[in-house]
A and B are shown apart, each in its own frame.
Chain A
Amino acid sequence: MSINRKRLGALLCVVVAAIAVASTAGAASQSTPGVTAHNVKIGGTFPLSGPASLYATIAGAEQAYYGWVNAHGGVNGRTITDIVKDDQYNPAKTVPAVKHLVETDKVFAIVGSLGTAPGLATWNYLNNKKVPQVLLASGDAYWGTCTATGSAFRAKPYCSKPKPWTMGWQPDYPGEAKIYAKYILANKPHAKIGILYQNDAYGQNYLDAFTKALGSHKSQIVDKESYNYTDSSSVVGAHVGALAAHGADTVVFFSTPAASIAALATIPHVPSWHPLTVLNNVSANRIFLLSAEQNGAAPNGVISSSYIKSNTVTPNDSAMKLAHDIIYATGNGTLKHEFDIGDSNLIYGLASAWTFVDALKHAGSNPTRTSLMHALRTLNESSSNKNPFVYPGMTVKTSSSRTFPMEQLILEKWSGSAHDWKSFGGVKTSGS
């Protein structure tokens, strides 16, 4: 009897709910989710805990920038709320987190989420729902090659269908790898090259493009060593020892930070070995180099590349002073400390948040998801509208033929902790 009554109650609920849904459906289609007269609500997923939590400061910097923008009047009279969810870099956690952001928090767009696999796990869902998935923090080639439509869609090997609602921000890994290959061929034509790469899509993305760019010189690769993301530093060290044993006089590390540091720290342990060392941008954060020095590495002369400013290289730059103020305004001790020791993830976060705010400004006084995507596809951050946090002389720009907002890099050389990174050779284009 009691069950019957319960069921009756439930049925009543259904009817009520159905009516409610039906009556609000019309209204919902009128306005854009996440956008009110005074606020724009966005969200993103980051590994705030777990093994990849070193990247959590990116989210912190982005929120700091939005906070600063809000304190200065917001964008077109709207403040920005950025909801950050922890996915521990596990796609099975990214999916519920993104669904929660879209369906319950009803965010306007997914902005800046970190990681390749988390991005891949959600891009079908977001594109089907026509929710912008933008400024993804990952340099995989997908975020540019799959997102174009029409004739620019040339990504059959990567993806079967265009993903017009998805885009990245930073230069792609293959483009970066090509610049290193050209540098080595120009400056050390008879180099015997040894490569250490992470045994996954990330490392493979770099490795393939690097090998291809060497062209007929690819026979100069004397050894390729792959390691696992979870490998200990002694394992990574053993692989670097193998590079030396194969007679490499030039080593290229397509690795993630912890492994890169272990690799750098191993070099001095190999007797009378002083290879030319190339380190990918992901590992070239100042704090990693300092860490490597503490752990016995002698990284002076290491070559890498950059696309954003550094508050330790040019502390008197007006943008870096602004960055200081923005980060210090949060009052967050961790962020302040990371800023002081030169964690470039913070500047990365500020630069990418700047691009989002720029796009939002250009998305019209009543931004919709479509107008946001249009603004992001026609970015032009040059002259008076220059992104202050990217490297001088580089522009954040997109068009129907240019789908990566950042397609420029500059080579740099580590000159010791006191002197930091020194750039050289002028701005280079990484785009394909």
Chain B
Amino acid sequence: MERLKTVGVERFVILAILLAGAIFLLVGCLTSTQFATFTVQGVATGMAYGALALALVLIYQATHVINFAQGELAMFTTFVAWQLIQWGLPYWGAFFVTLAIAFLLGMGLQVAVIRPVQHRSVIATVIVTVGLFILIDGVVDWVWGGEFKSLPQPFGNGSWNVGGVEIQHLYVGMTGVVLASLAFVWALFRFTKLGLAMRAAALRPAAASLAGVRVDAMLAIGWGLAALLGAVAGLMAEPTTGIFLLPTFMQQVLVYAFAAAALGGLESPIGAIVGGVAIGVLQALMIGYTPQISSQLQLPFAFALILAILVVKPNGLFGRRQVARV
């Protein structure tokens, strides 16, 4: 009873903090157009961080492993999209074909290299994802290295003027696409039998398998979905990360997605998105308003903040305290 109460209080405090943050942003946007510009940009990039963080969370929930290769997988699928566009597909055609390829690739990798180790050793599974990281980097350099490449802008270069605030089509488009894919994943888990089976397989594998769920197959589909979300994150983040499509473009995004997942809690899908947006906005406002925190100190500062949060809340803002097993 006592414990329940403290959990309730904690929830309340976190909700209050989030609400205060939202009100702060809203008031800021209404009073300053510059602030609003920064916020819009921050939300959009934060969405991409959130999508990749959600991919991490999906895999963490199922396998209790952080997939280090998540960002590089997304980078790989972005190159696939580039290739498809080169072969003549229109951007959005390539987009959906790429998502399908990402899904199959994620499933394939789970079956080929993750399944054999995942029950034997957590460390070995993590190292396999590190190996994938290196391998994918090498493969992309091999297949697509050496030439300048850039993807077409999915939403053009235009912008709307809303009450003096310059809002680029890109940012609205990014936010929309990420939200749509989140809605898709959410609906899948919430309303379909497959989603129920996947949740069961991730949370109670033994019981699920007794109930006739093919746990291994569900885990593979989970990897597929994570790769698909990652592909969305890659394609949406690419226009903001740099002009050229470089094999390294997802590494910075992965770092912020890690931060988002840690902030929101590795077991909380909503936490991943909220964490991603929070980090995106914080980053945009820091650049805009705190020139004394120079660009070199942004990463250390952001991480000091996250470390501080983790020290207070070791399982992230939305994480539940785990009871240690003896």
Contacts and interface: CB of A to CB of B under 8 A. Distances in A.
A395 to B, nearest CB: 31
Interface in A308-356: 334, 337-338, 343
Contact of B242 (A56, A57, A232, A294): A232
A136 interface: no
Contacts of B157: 265, 268, 295-296
Given A51-B248, A238-B287, A239-B287, A291 B150 contact: yes
Interface string A48-64: 11110110110000000
Contacts of A230: 252
A235 interface: yes
Contact of B148 (A49, A54, A227, A228): A54
Contacts of A49: 137-138, 141, 145, 247
B6 interface: no
Nearest to B283: A235
Contact of A54 (B37, B161, B168, B244): B244
A316 B8 CA distance: 78
A291 B295 contact: no
A380 to B, nearest CB: 35
B41 A226 contact: no
Contacts of B45: 232, 234
A228 to B, nearest CB: 4
Contact of A258 (B161, B240, B243): B243
Contacts of A57: 146
B52 to A, nearest CB: 14
A49 B143 CA distance: 12
Interface residues of A, number: 44
Nearest to A50: B248
Contacts of A107: none
Interface in A255-308: 257-258, 261-262, 265, 268-271, 287-288, 291-292, 294-296
Nearest to A295: B243
Contacts of A245: 34
Contact of B147 (A231, A291, A292, A337): A337
A235 to B, nearest CB: 6
Interface in B275-306: 283-284, 287-288, 291, 294-296, 298
Interface in A198-227: 199, 225-227
A195 to B, nearest CB: 14
Nearest to B295: A228
B295 A233 contact: no
A53 to B, nearest CB: 6
B145 to A, nearest CB: 6
Given A232-B242, A234-B45, A238-B288, A199 B295 contact: yes
B166 interface: yes
- The 7 lowest CB-CB distance pairs between A and B, nearest first, are A296-B157, A261-B243, A228-B295, A49-B141, A238-B287, A234-B240, A232-B241
